[in-house]
A and B are shown apart, each in its own frame.
Chain A
Amino acid sequence: MKYVDEFRDPEKAKVLINEINEIAERLSVGRTRPIRIMEVCGGHTHSIFRYGIENILPKSIELIHGPGCPVCVLPMGRVDDCVKIAERPEVIFTTFGDAMRVPGSKKSLLVAKAEGADVRMVYSPMDALSLARKNPDREVVFFGLGFETTMPSTALTVLQAKKEGITNFSLFCNHITIIPTVKAVLDSPDMQLEGFLGPGHVSMVIGNAPYAFIAEHYKKPLVVAGFEPLDILQSLWMVLKQLEAGEAKVENQYNRIVPEGGNDVALEAISKVFRLREFFEWRGLGSIDHSGVQLTDEYLDYDAETKFSIKSISVADPMSCQCGEVLKGVIKPWECKVFGKACTPEVPLGALMVSSEGACAAYYQYGGIEIDNEEEIVEEAVS
């Protein structure tokens, strides 16, 4: 496939891997623990597992799978709110497919649908708006979810709804912003990271400038990365090069997609429709200041929270869940007490086990190789 196969070329990968191995070896001299690099974005996590990238990297590099999967960081209380809205008889509740199986405190949207709620999967917020046009006697609610990647399409949909004077459409807004999140990760006391792979699609919208504080203030290198396996390897190589040179810069590996200044049209739509919330709760990470957005007063008529008088109640995660520690990279998914036991993709306790971008589901689905190898080693030693 053109423009894709080029970025999956095993021969080019070998060259990069060799260089990564060499730098990693030099950097490891005198180190007691591996070099930890966080990929912030769930899309990267998915690619890393799908192509088996972890098991071609040297042991001295450890990838930490960050909080950049919007479905995974959705707190239970918000899912409960979704269910509450979806179960109203006049509502057609529209959502991206990923969010259907995220557990609330009592049920997921999938269960609510089975019990009779009119929940429909859509591929774009514009699909939700056309449902509103076709069903003037129903209230169509779109479950807005995601970082700056999906925010522009939601914003444009709200603008379009207002322009057409459609009144039976509203947004249950759970959009979140990347920068406060990365800052929260960096400020966390149990965090020990050497560098970051920056989120490619978010950066396509916001550009590279917002990351500058990471390099300047926290002295950590960040490379905005694409999603194909060679993109990821090259970006890792760039982070390692910076570490070796003792530098901390923001670099852009994904420059075929990401313009330095971001996308003005998208940013304008976002700033028209959204404003920052004072705080927003994240699953596993707790409340993070200014990390979520809500509709501005001008578009309040399109706010499902206002329309249906939703008062979000914070619901504590199950005691046994260690999603937060996995999200911050403090433990590996399989080190969680309930991984693969009480928490599986079929019956997930935490959202990290739901989305294909969640670290736990990715390990469960594609991973296990490392664990396998350990077992094989044990087996060999025994025999």
Chain B
Amino acid sequence: MNKATDAKLTQPVSTRIRHGKLVSPVITLAHGGGGKAMRDLIDDVFISAFDNPSLNTLEDQARFQLSDLAKLGDRLAMTTDSYVIDPVFFPGGDIGKLSICGTVNDLAVGGATPLYLTCAMIIEEGMQVETLRKILASMAETAREAGVQIVTGDTKVVERGSCDKIFINTAGIGIINERYQLGAHLAQPGDAILVNGFLGDHGAAILNARGDMNLKSPVISDCAPLQGLIKTLLDAAPGTRFIRDATRGGIASVLNEIAQSSKVAIEIFEEKTPIRKEVVGFCEILGLDPLYLANEGKIVVVVPDDEKQIALEAMRSHALGKEATEIGHVLEGGRSGRVHMQTGFGGKRIVDMLIGEQLPRIC
């Protein structure tokens, strides 16, 4: 259970004042028009899915007691992300689950306890209400799992062709405890580089789900909220220097950011980098590099060498970190800003930033 939500945060008095019913099975432009159809959509679909006191008041803004927030730490963390994934439903998740996980993880990797999320949706006319309900139910379930509340939102409906089915933006706030000081600039020579499991699952799953390739692959997205894993890690290894979720651009991009921000050289080992054989095979066929494939439930962690073991044990004790492993280290010396990989074959190659994009609309 997430400690932050155990702490007594003052909730507004729950006053659900409206109980509109949506009649139409299909979303039309009227549902974004500001009139009765929109009210019914919000009442029947959104409020009933996200049901919480703050949202139920239907004010134009969510309100928080500052004194409550201050009890949890000394810094407020805030982030936002938009989700445009194609397809909307994929093996291992859907755009709703993704829109919660992504924002929760962006807060958690900074050492923050995620608390409140916003939800803004742009919906293409013609979407089935049932589909929307499914997405919202998935958001609500993931939010519960992550210990966060969706406290305010916005809905727009646009003409067919103006967006593809549904785009979701979520913003989130959380509180960072005094004990944690994490930053991409803090890596030091000798530090270990860890990941919490198999890399590239999300990218491979999405690409496969699009069906362009007609390949049968059992790979499912690793999409998951990581606040619990990160809390377990930070409780055990408070000296952790940096955590980042390796989303678009894969771990290659995260490692390059660390090397550049900290002005260090990083070495990783192909043989120690955990990639499922299905994903390796997938990449072989399509000419992709798994180091650049997106993840939605994987973090890159930089820890001082003397906390490496305890950090690994902590991660492995959590369901989302069972395959946690060390993939490399920060070099003493070497060329600042450079990441290289010792290949299994005995050669050495540069791991650069991703140029352009490997695949569009993966999150």
Instruction: With A345-B356, A346-B355, A365-B352 as known contacts, state yes or no: A55 contacts B345, CB within 8 Å.
Output: no
Q: 8 extra interchain contacts, Cβ-Cβ under 8 A, other than A49-B349, A365-B352?
A: A10-B345, A10-B346, A50-B349, A52-B349, A123-B212, A229-B347, A365-B350, A376-B335
Specify which chain A residues have a CB less than 8 angstroms from the CB of B344 in the assembled complex: 8, 10
Q: In the complex the two chains form, is A366's CB within 8 Å of B356's CB?
A: no
Q: In the complex the two chains form, is A369's CB within 8 Å of B345's CB?
A: no
Q: Is chain B's interface secondary structure helix, strand, loop, or mixed overall?
A: loop
Q: In the complex the two chains form, is B349's CB within 8 Å of A369's CB?
A: yes
Q: In the complex the two chains form, is A345's CB within 8 Å of B355's CB?
A: yes
A13 within 8 A of partner (CB) = yes
B343 within 8 A of partner (CB) = yes
A265 within 8 A of partner (CB) = no
Specify which chain B residues have a CB less than 8 angstroms from the CB of A366 in the assembled complex: 349-350, 352
Q: In the complex the two chains form, is A51's CB within 8 Å of B347's CB?
A: yes
Q: How far is the CA of A127 from the CA of B345 in the complex (A)?
A: 36
Query: Interface on A for B, CB 8 Å cutoff?
Result: 1, 4, 8, 10, 13-14, 49-53, 55-56, 101, 123, 127, 229, 344-346, 356, 364-369, 372, 375-376
Specify which chain B residues have a CB less than 8 angstroms from the CB of A10 in the assembled complex: 344-346
Kindly supply a per-residue 1/0 record for chain B positions 336-363, scoring 1 wherever the CB is within 8 Å of any chain A CB and 0 otherwise.
0010100111111110100110000000
Kindly supply a per-residue 1/0 record for chain B positions 210-247, scoring 1 wherever the CB is within 8 Å of any chain A CB and 0 otherwise.
00110000000000000000000000000000000000
B284 within 8 A of partner (CB) = yes
Q: A234 → chain B, closest Cβ, in Å? A: 14
Query: Which residue in chain B gives the minimum CB-CB distance to A100?
Result: B356
B8 within 8 A of partner (CB) = no
Give 5 CB contacts A-B under 8 Å.
Answer: A52-B347, A55-B347, A123-B212, A123-B213, A229-B345
Specify which chain A residues have a CB less than 8 angstroms from the CB of B284 in the assembled complex: 1, 4
Q: Is chain A's interface secondary structure helix, strand, loop, or mixed overall?
A: helix
Specify which chain B residues have a CB less than 8 angstroms from the CB of A55 in the assembled complex: 347-348
Specify which chain A residues have a CB less than 8 angstroms from the CB of B287 in the assembled complex: 356
Q: In the complex the two chains form, is A1's CB within 8 Å of B281's CB?
A: yes
Q: How far is the CA of A313 from the CA of B116 in the complex (A)?
A: 60
Query: Which residue in chain B gives the minimum CB-CB distance to A46?
Result: B287
Choose among A13, A14, A346, A364 the residue that contacts B356 (Cβ–Cβ < 8 A). A346
Kindly supply a per-residue 1/0 record for chain B positions 286-315, scoring 1 wherever the CB is within 8 Å of any chain A CB and 0 otherwise.
010000000000000000000000000000
Kindly supply a per-residue 1/0 record for chain B positions 273-291, scoring 1 wherever the CB is within 8 Å of any chain A CB and 0 otherwise.
0000100110010010000
Specify which chain B residues have a CB less than 8 angstroms from the CB of A344 in the assembled complex: 355
Kindly supply a per-residue 1/0 record for chain B positions 185-226, scoring 1 wherever the CB is within 8 Å of any chain A CB and 0 otherwise.
000000000000000000000000000110000000000000
Q: Which of B213, B344, B346, B352 has the most CB of A within 10 A?
A: B346
Q: In the complex the two chains form, is A53's CB within 8 Å of B347's CB?
A: yes
Q: How far is the CA of A1 from the CA of B280 in the complex (A)?
A: 8
Q: In the complex the two chains form, is B346's CB within 8 Å of A56's CB?
A: yes
Instruction: With A1-B284, A346-B356, A356-B287 as known contacts, state yes or no: A52 contacts B343, CB within 8 Å.
Output: yes
Query: Interface on B for A, CB 8 Å cutoff?
Result: 212-213, 277, 280-281, 284, 287, 335, 338, 340, 343-350, 352, 355-356
Q: A355 → chain B, closest Cβ, in Å? A: 10
Q: B343 → chain A, closest Cβ, in Å? A: 5
Q: B357 → chain A, closest Cβ, in Å? A: 10
Q: A48 → chain B, closest Cβ, in Å? A: 9
Q: In the complex the two chains form, is A52's CB within 8 Å of B345's CB?
A: yes
Query: Which residue in chain B gives the minimum CB-CB distance to A56?
Result: B347
Instruction: With A4-B284, A123-B213 as known contacts, state yes or no: A369 contacts B277, CB within 8 Å.
Output: no
Q: How far is the CA of A364 from the CA of B355 in the complex (A)?
A: 11
Q: A206 → chain B, closest Cβ, in Å? A: 23
Instruction: With A1-B284, A13-B345 as known contacts, state yes or no: A372 contacts B277, CB within 8 Å.
Output: no
Specify which chain B residues have a CB less than 8 angstroms from the CB of A368 in the assembled complex: 350
Q: In the complex the two chains form, is B348's CB within 8 Å of A52's CB?
A: yes
Q: In the complex the two chains form, is B213's CB within 8 Å of A1's CB?
A: no
Q: How far is the CA of A375 from the CA of B338 in the complex (A)?
A: 14
Q: How far is the CA of A55 from the CA of B347 in the complex (A)?
A: 7
Q: How far is the CA of A53 from the CA of B352 in the complex (A)?
A: 18
Specify which chain A residues have a CB less than 8 angstroms from the CB of B213 in the assembled complex: 123
Q: Which of A4, A51, A344 has the most CB of B within 10 A?
A: A51
Q: B269 → chain A, closest Cβ, in Å? A: 12
Specify which chain A residues have a CB less than 8 angstroms from the CB of B338 in the assembled complex: 372
Choose among A1, A8, A346, A375 the residue that contacts B345 (Cβ–Cβ < 8 A). A8
Q: B183 → chain A, closest Cβ, in Å? A: 27
Specify which chain A residues have a CB less than 8 angstroms from the CB of B355 in the assembled complex: 344-346, 365
Query: Which residue in chain A gives the minimum CB-CB distance to B335?
Result: A372
Q: B161 → chain A, closest Cβ, in Å? A: 13
Specify which chain B residues have a CB less than 8 angstroms from the CB of A346 in the assembled complex: 355-356
Instruction: With A51-B343, A123-B212, A123-B213 as known contacts, state yes or no: A1 contacts B348, CB within 8 Å.
Output: no
Q: Which of A101, A367, A368 has the most CB of B within 10 A?
A: A368
Instruction: With A101-B356, A356-B287 as known contacts, state yes or no: A367 contacts B277, CB within 8 Å.
Output: no
Q: B119 → chain A, closest Cβ, in Å? A: 29
Q: In the complex the two chains form, is A369's CB within 8 Å of B348's CB?
A: yes
Q: How far is the CA of A55 from the CA of B340 in the complex (A)?
A: 14
Q: A114 → chain B, closest Cβ, in Å? A: 12
Query: Which residue in chain A gives the minimum CB-CB distance to B278?
Result: A1
Q: How far is the CA of A367 from the CA of B347 in the complex (A)?
A: 11
Specify which chain B residues have a CB less than 8 angstroms from the CB of A52 in the assembled complex: 343, 345-349
Q: Which of B280, B281, B287 has the most CB of A within 10 A?
A: B287
Q: B18 → chain A, closest Cβ, in Å? A: 43
Query: Which residue in chain B gives the minimum CB-CB distance to A9?
Result: B345
- 7 closest Cβ pairs, A-B complex: A52-B347, A345-B355, A10-B346, A51-B345, A366-B349, A52-B349, A52-B348
Q: B231 → chain A, closest Cβ, in Å? A: 36
Query: Which residue in chain A gives the minimum CB-CB distance to B271?
Result: A10
Q: A222 → chain B, closest Cβ, in Å? A: 25
Specify which chain B residues have a CB less than 8 angstroms from the CB of A50 in the assembled complex: 343, 349
Q: How far is the CA of A101 from the CA of B356 in the complex (A)?
A: 9
Query: Which residue in chain A gives the minimum CB-CB distance to B286?
Result: A123
Query: Which residue in chain B gives the minimum CB-CB distance to A122?
Result: B212
Specify which chain B residues have a CB less than 8 angstroms from the CB of A51 in the assembled complex: 343, 345, 347, 349
Query: Which residue in chain B gives the minimum CB-CB distance to A8?
Result: B345
